[in-house]
């Protein structure tokens, strides 16, 4: 599942492709919005918040979420699409580019002046210009009994983290994902490290996991074999955790 860094990079690509340009094509392939056509409107901004992406044009805002398999591509005129056409959910074209959102988990057309209402519940955005570390720590510790591996995935606490970065952040801070938040002395360090790697992955180069997806391989720090377990609030909500049983307590 794409995380905040992927959405941040997609927003940057779309901003370069569309911002300041007039839409010549607008195709929303969602029944509810199928008649909406913003051709002739100028794209003013492309912004993201957590894992949510907004393309603002005229008085409307296209709100999208990649969810499990969504991806944005930008094509030159006449260029062949690299995904099947039937998976396209939103197509926004200008004279010189076409941006196509494939398999998007969510597509909505909102009133531009109220578009951020749909992200009002989110916690501080790890990649946002208004990143608020103190508020993030306050939210994370609101339930001290909650395991950190669940607390950091809740977008109401921190916006932008998914399964890769929760595992990586815990490993960097040497904290076991099952440890209750209230018992973690270096929670600030865990948040800082997670913010640092997510930000690097968004702005510099795509993060190469140290524990995520590396079950049975050696821990990069102590060479102990990395363990994989399933963990979640209930049997239907379990997701994988990767950790070093030696250096994460
Ligand atoms: Zn280790």
Q: In sequence order, what DSSP letters do the residues of 156-183 get, joined into one string?
A: TTSBS--HHHHHHHHHHTT--TTSBGGG
pLDDT of residue 237: 81
Ligand 1 centroid–CA 62 distance in Å is 44
Query: What b-and-e string marks burial along 92-120, b requiring 16 or more CB atoms within 10 Å of the CB?
Result: bbbeebbbbbbebebbbbbebeebbebbe
pLDDT along the chain (249 residues), means of 10: 93 97 96 94 96 96 95 95 97 97 97 96 95 97 96 95 96 98 98 97 96 97 97 85 96
Ligand 1 centroid–CA 225 distance in Å is 8
Angstrom distance (rounded) from CA 225 to CA 104: 37
Whether 121 and 158 have beta carbons less than 8 Å apart is answered as no
pLDDT of residue 234: 78
Query: What b-and-e string marks burial along 202-223, b requiring 16 or more CB atoms within 10 Å of the CB?
Result: beeeebeebbbebeeeebeeee
Ligand 1 centroid–CA 243 distance in Å is 8
| Tokens, residue 219 | 């821990």
| Domains contained in the chain, CATH given | 4-119 (3.20.190.10), 133-243 (1.10.8.50)
Task: State the alpha helices, DSSP H only, in the chain.
Answer: 4-18, 133-140, 148-151, 163-172, 187-203
| Tokens, residue 44 | 């003013």
pLDDT of residue 89: 97
Whether 102 and 47 have beta carbons less than 8 Å apart is answered as no
pLDDT of residue 137: 97
Q: Which residues are designated catalytic?
A: 2-3, 51, 239
Phi/psi of residue 85, each to 5°? -60, -35
Counting Cα atoms < 13 Å in the Cβ hemisphere of 83 gives 19
pLDDT of residue 84: 97
pLDDT of residue 37: 94
Whether 55 and 110 have beta carbons less than 8 Å apart is answered as no
Whether 151 and 140 have beta carbons less than 8 Å apart is answered as yes
Nearby residues of 82 by Cβ (< 8 Å), 6 or more positions away: 73
pLDDT of residue 235: 73
Ligand 1 centroid–CA 247 distance in Å is 4
pLDDT of residue 1: 80
């Amino acid at each position: 599942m794409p995380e905040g860094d992927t959405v941040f990079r997609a927003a940057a690509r779309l901003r370069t492709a569309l911002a300041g340009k007039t839409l010549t094509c607008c195709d929303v392939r969602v029944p509810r919005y199928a008649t909406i056509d913003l051709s002739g409107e100028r794209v003013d901004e492309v912004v993201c918040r957590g894992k949510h992406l907004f393309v603002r044009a005229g008085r409307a805002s296209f709100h999208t979420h990649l969810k499990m398999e969504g991806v944005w591509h930008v094509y030159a005129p006449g260029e062949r699409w690299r995904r099947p056409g039937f998976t396209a959910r939103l197509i926004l074209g200008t004279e010189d580019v076409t941006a196509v959102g494939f398999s998007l988990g969510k597509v909505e057309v909102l009133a531009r002046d109220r578009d951020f209402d749909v992200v009002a519940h989110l916690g501080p955005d790890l990649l946002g210009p208004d990143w608020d570390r103190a508020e993030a720590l306050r939210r994370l510790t609101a339930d001290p009994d909650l395991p950190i591996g669940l607390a950091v995935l809740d977008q109401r606490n921190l916006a932008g983290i998914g399964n890769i970065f929760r595992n990586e952040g815990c490993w960097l801070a040497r904290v076991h994902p099952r440890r209750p938040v209230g018992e973690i002395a270096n929670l600030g360090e865990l948040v800082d490290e997670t913010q640092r790697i997510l930000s690097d992955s968004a702005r510099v180069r795509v993060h190469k996991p140290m524990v995520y997806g590396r079950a049975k391989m050696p821990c990069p720090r102590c060479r102990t074999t990395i363990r994989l377990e399933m963990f979640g609030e209930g049997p239907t909500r379990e997701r994988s955790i990767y950790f070093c049983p030696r250096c994460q307590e």
